[in-house]
Chain A
Amino acid sequence: MKEINELVLPEDYKYTAEHEWVKKDGDTLQIGITDYAQDQLGDIVFVEFPEIGDSFDKDETFGTLESVKAVSDLFLPVGGEIVEINEALEDEPELLNSDPNGAWIVKIKPSDESEFDSLMSKEAYLNQLKG
């Protein structure tokens, strides 16, 4: 089990209470899960993706992660349209464990940029983890 000070959380990412991260990538946003989430879930063995072109509201379920521990919903931190899914995770879902900050799950085109700005900073997320 990782101690909080062992977690790798990039400074320039935004974070959510559901332990997801959001990273700006041109005019799209990448969505992934945090180092804390992957450590808690254990081996991730399957990712259920949405279809490209699907649109979701903020906090709506857009997919599921299957780990040895549980089946977990993925919530879209910012409303928008799915423009790309990370197909590498279909064959190697374990990339979410080995490289949680690199292995994005989907890229979206946000419908409202201000939803991104209102997400948590690394510091705010760390404070939440420390409870």
Chain B
Amino acid sequence: MQDKVKATKMHEWHMSNGANMGNFGNYDMPLWYPKGAKEEHLSVVTAAGLFDTSHMAAVTVTGEHAFDLLQLCFSKDLNSCIGKSKTPIEIGKCVYGVFLDEEGGVIDDAIVYKLETNIYMIVVNAAMGGTIAATLESKKENNIVMIEDLTDKLGKMDVQGPNSAKILSKIIKNPEKVFESFGYFNFKGHHNDASMLSDDVRLLDGTPILLSRTGYTGEFGFEIFVDENKTLELWEKIIEAGAEFDLVPCGLASRDSLRAGAVLPLSHQDIGSWPFSNNPWHFALPYNVTISDFTKDFVGASALKNIKDRKYTYPFAGFDLRKIATENSKVLDESGNEIGTVLTCATDMAIGRSDGKIYSITSPDKPEMKIKGLCCGFVQINTLTKSGQTIYLSDGKRKLKVEIRSDVRPDRTARKRIKDMI
């Protein structure tokens, strides 16, 4: 039986601002606003966009054995995951990884935040809070851990794009201090007044927020967590403060095209019930320096070490913006043999090719050219191949020539130094 479709705190705002709505994870969410998904996509690459992501779920894990439980269930080795020197996770840092089942298939992907000693927050996809909480419950045995599913109890929105910090500077206290140093996959503040971190980032009216330098667009920006009752107010504040920085509200369509160009997977589409292996996201696994073994044991690890039926997931980019429907799609090699399926096919509107090379509208070395967009996404094929290999995507009617890539949209801003962004 289908549950009643849910709405976020911004639902009425989306409707009164003319959004085209669609169901995602059983939430009625904006697909795009009247300016259109193309404009939204380009705005995030050149200026800023605001996404309602309060349909995403969070789970907190608290207690003496919280760390051990995460070490068992989560793919990242929390003892060895920060920076090049692989130091342990610490308060103010977060990491991306996956929760696997015993067969090595993905239950969901997640970002794990260390909020305090023995307190972690796991941010997962829409409707997955209950599943991840139950997975953790089933593995905790007699350990002292409290698991709380915060689904629909926490407000969340993402400000993404090069102007994000300039916009937030207008609405938070002490912006100079907050943005003095702020690395990728770091966070500051806390949405709950009771936390010792909550004084680190407050809105001008005193509301505490958790500001995380992460996102799902490949561009510079932040994910923001706030008390659910303050969500709409914060949303409107950011829209207002963002006007002079060309911020636009963005829907799920541009979110999908931006993340595809940034080579980020959509859970349950690009990663899913099959073994999490031979894909562009092996950094989510606890590999040692030589990538010969894992540095810890965890649920799904032995399955990943013993895969029999290997499949390979690769990013691709096309030669123009045409795409194909992924349902019933096939991947063909140059001789026409069927070698796999298409997982994602979207159009990154901010890129184009000149002499075969891909440039973004923001590429500093971009030649004189008209950028109309390129189709891109992920394929899963049954053979090992190399970047640059030509393949064909077919949906039965259309056949598109595309190229296996190691990366798609160049010159993304996600990892830029904060001091260059304020």
Residues of A within 8 A of B (CB): 1, 39-40, 42-43, 45-46, 48, 61, 64, 66, 68-71, 73, 97
Point out the residues of chain B lying under 8 angstroms from A97, CB to CB.
36
Which partner residue on chain B sits nearest A2 by CB separation?
Answer: B18
| A68:B20 contact, CB within 8 angstroms | no
| CB-defined contacts of B21 to chain A, threshold 8 Å | 1
Does B19 belong to the interface (CB within 8 Å)?
Answer: yes
Q: How far is the CA of A61 from the CA of B32 in the complex (A)?
A: 28
Assess whether A68 is in contact with B321, with CB atoms less than 8 Å apart: no
Bound Cα distance A69, B32 (Å): 10
Q: Is the CB of A69 within 8 A of B31?
A: yes
Give Cα A69–Cα B31 distance, bound, in whole angstroms: 9
A43 pairs with B37, CB closer than 8 A? yes
**Contact call B36/A42, Cβ cutoff below 8 A:** yes
A40 to B37, CA, bound (A): 12
Min distance, Cβ A84 to any Cβ of chain B, angstroms:
23
Q: Which residues of A contact B373 (CB under 8 A)?
A: 45
Task: Tell me the bound Cα distance from A46 to B324 in angstroms.
Answer: 12
Q: Smallest Cβ distance from B45 to chain A, in angstroms?
A: 15
| Residues of chain A within 8 A of B230, CB atoms compared | none
Q: Which residues of A contact B37 (CB under 8 A)?
A: 42-43, 68
**Interface residue? B259 (CB, 8 A):** no
Task: Report the separation of the CA atoms of residues A66 and B395 in the bound assembly, to the nearest whole angstrom.
Answer: 14
In the complex, which of the residues B19, B36, B39, B398 contacts A64, with contact meaning CB atoms closer than 8 Å?
Answer: B398
* Distance in Å: Cβ of A86 to nearest Cβ of chain B: 18
Give every chain B residue within 8 A of A42 (Cβ-Cβ): 20, 31-32, 36-37, 253
B49 to chain A, nearest CB (A): 14
A45 adjacent to B347 (CB under 8 Å): yes
Give the CA-CA distance A78 to B397 in the complex, in Å.
Answer: 22
On whether A68 and B19 interact (CB within 8 A), knowing A43-B37, A45-B347, the answer reads no
- Given the interface pairs A45-B38, A45-B321, the reply to whether A68 lies near B18 with Cβ below 8 Å is no
Contact assessment for B19 and A43 in the assembled complex, using a CB-CB cutoff below 8 Å: no
A71 / chain B contacts, CB cutoff of 8 Å? 322-325, 395, 398
Shortest Cβ distance from A66 into B: residue:
B322
Bound Cα distance A70, B395 (Å): 12
Residue in chain A with minimal CB distance to B22: A69
Among B18, B20, B324, B349, the residue within 8 A (CB) of A45 is: B349
Q: Is B43 an interface residue (CB 8 A)?
A: no
